A and B are shown apart, each in its own frame.
Chain A
């Protein structure tokens, strides 16, 4: 059998099964097969728990437990699980490079970037002297477009931004010039504009070095216009795979359809009717807040501004999206609105309701639903507790109210008797929302309520928030870094940068192109933005923007 080298698959996974070894083995991945040919950009897509990360860790023989493995993984001509120790080292050094989800965790926090690059370089150039190694390290950093590479060598990972750290990780993974780059959710921990930069970098390196890429992600949006092949995993089984163009245009499996639907971006049409202006609910008036690193910084007046003459309004029954990257002051604004932080100057007004002169009630929903629920208490007890604290003595009344609220967020009765550990991410987040709703607030402040859950579940929560606005007339201040969420449900968009409002417009006008440069950059960074042109398609799915990449 003769193959031309470019025809030979770099990766060949045959009937892969991964199970936890026990008296009754728990199967995590079953019967997964795929091939990746040289130069392919292969995307492995699925939700958390679908086995996509396990599969790619198995390809490196890096599972955190001793598994039962079935089938074979052949990469670069080597059967990974039958390699001995020495061959495995050589395989990890020469054949593959791997990039992880959280770059800050993947780098040793107590050693400098330089020392970690040098120790890896020494593997490949055991006889090189210090100067040569240093030059190679600088070259490697330059290769991933890190500015001032020489000065970064002496720096610790926590002193660099997430995007730069991920670039360092990519440089490290490629030091041995591997044929295959495995990237396990490489951009999930990053801001959206940084995400686009890192993905562009991977594209560029792939073209330049003729690299084969395996990208693992839960977000179809980021791969639909980059990948050449897509494989969809669900519950440890392969649901669908094929050329990206085909899958994107006509997904066959119901599950992939759902994933695509969840990842599709509906650009707000300009004809959305303007809502009539309701009375204001929360007003930020010229609010200033600066954080200082130390007392001395405070005296010198050099601090980190989290809010600079911040002014905006949230009206009744309106969803206002507060967007911006990490460090732009979104969370500080939320904390100040809840009274958890005091502004340095300016005022934050929570308005009175019309009929009775009591201030409107505000509740908060946090980012990580599991962290804000008590893991040891049943959901029901946690909800009762909230009401009890607020003086609801009658148990039957409490129960009625809880059932009504649970229905409002779209949950079924049976979740009440469970503990948080037995809830899915989406259910847990809706329980948190329900808990906030129990006290019948007029406004919710939701700090990144979607970033900890899968795309498909995001939909459910978005629907839930929408229903709250439309049926109960609750105002929502939604803090997010994901523009897709904004397009979906927001009425008004407030863009923050370095604590300043750079934009405050209705969402229908947001994408008309005549925006502030920074906002434009955020808009451009939205994955799958090509769907704007394709939004007319009746299927609701969009074609990838650049066919040239797919042909690759």
Chain B
């Protein structure tokens, strides 16, 4: 029952996003006149393109046609490449997943231990160092960090390729750019989550029972601190996909982020819709999983009373 409601909510969110995408894209002008110069193209040609890409009739007709075709699994054709939009997007997906996945791993690998250590030594020199570094980390725009890395590793040291895909060397700089900037934020979240937990009465009482600091950390601090982190992590991963638009452009990484930039500049509406929907599906699914995981991790959220 609970699960069904959550899934229903996910479907409604998805529908809202689909509709918003439609409205946003139509609100920015007639796509046909954006692609073709109306002064140099015959009316007949414009009309035939309208016909072909489904831009005929009123906005409501277009919306209906759009939703119906979505339900049929027909996501339209890319105007850039004349191939199904779905194919265009799907072929870019693995590259982005690779990038985001590795960045997330990097973010957690840095954020968890560093945030924890900073919290354990709160107020000390190490904590202040970590916190200043983190402020710099998330104040620095991604493209500045990216260009800085290129200057260092490609231009000066000739260690890493500045552009393209293919080997692990290509991955290093994009992953560093996204992973480090998000790690800066994540570290702060970890630090404050751990700090909150350190003061909990149950930690004090565990200490009074004579548990070792190691046991207290793993069984009483982490189990409580992980709850707010589980909520924030998917948001950060979502922000990584968004950051991908810039970072993929800088490093010539053929992922979904760069596809968005290209699709917007060329007004390839079908592709843009596809990308946004895909990201939405991924985010909604992740949130669904997180909600379910949260219920598992925090027994207080399931209201059942024992007697």
Contacts and interface: CB of A to CB of B under 8 A. Distances in A.
Interface of A: 60, 62, 64, 89-94, 96-98, 100, 102, 105-111, 119-120, 123, 151, 155-156, 158-160, 169, 172-173, 175-176, 293-294, 296
B208 A160 contact: no
Interface of B: 1, 199-202, 204-212, 215, 219-220, 223-224, 227, 297-300, 303-306
Given A119-B215, A160-B306, A107 B209 contact: no
Contacts of B219: 108, 111, 119
A114 to B, nearest CB: 12
Contact of A109 (B205, B206, B224, B304): B224
Nearest to A124: B210
Residue among B199, B227, B297, B299 with most chain A CB within 10 A: B299
Contact of B205 (A100, A123, A151, A160): A100
A286 B1 CA distance: 36
Contacts of A111: 219-220, 223
A60 B208 CA distance: 7
A90 B223 contact: no
Contacts of B206: 108
14 contacts: A92-B209, A96-B208, A100-B204, A100-B205, A106-B204, A107-B205, A108-B220, A109-B224, A110-B297, A110-B298, A111-B223, A151-B306, A155-B306, A158-B299
A160 B305 CA distance: 8
Contacts of A90: 210
Residue among B200, B207, B298, B303 with most chain A CB within 10 A: B207
Nearest to A88: B210
Contacts of A93: 209-210
B220 A92 contact: no
Nearest to B215: A119
Given A93-B209, A111-B219, A106 B201 contact: yes
A402 to B, nearest CB: 39
Contact of A159 (B207, B297, B305): B305
B205 A106 contact: yes
A108 B224 contact: yes
A111 B203 CA distance: 13
Nearest to A151: B306
Given A108-B220, A119-B215, A176 B201 contact: no
A100 B209 contact: no
A156 B299 contact: yes
A108 B202 contact: yes
A119 B211 contact: yes
A158 B212 contact: no
A62 B212 CA distance: 14
Nearest to B306: A159
Contact of A120 (B202, B211, B223, B300): B211
A156 B300 contact: yes
B300 to A, nearest CB: 5
A62 B207 CA distance: 8
A183 to B, nearest CB: 12
Given A98-B209, A106-B202, A294-B303, 11 more contacts: A90-B210, A100-B201, A110-B227, A111-B219, A119-B219, A120-B211, A123-B211, A155-B306, A159-B305, A160-B306, A169-B205
Contacts of A60: 208
A366 B227 CA distance: 32
A215 to B, nearest CB: 16
4 A-B pairs with the lowest CB-CB distances in the bound complex, closest first: A93-B210, A105-B201, A92-B210, A106-B205
Nearest to A115: B219
A89 B208 CA distance: 9
A294 B212 CA distance: 42
B297 to A, nearest CB: 7
Contacts of B305: 159
B264 to A, nearest CB: 44
Nearest to A93: B210
A110 B205 contact: no
Contacts of B207: 62, 92
B228 to A, nearest CB: 12
Given A108-B223, A156-B299, A123 B210 contact: yes
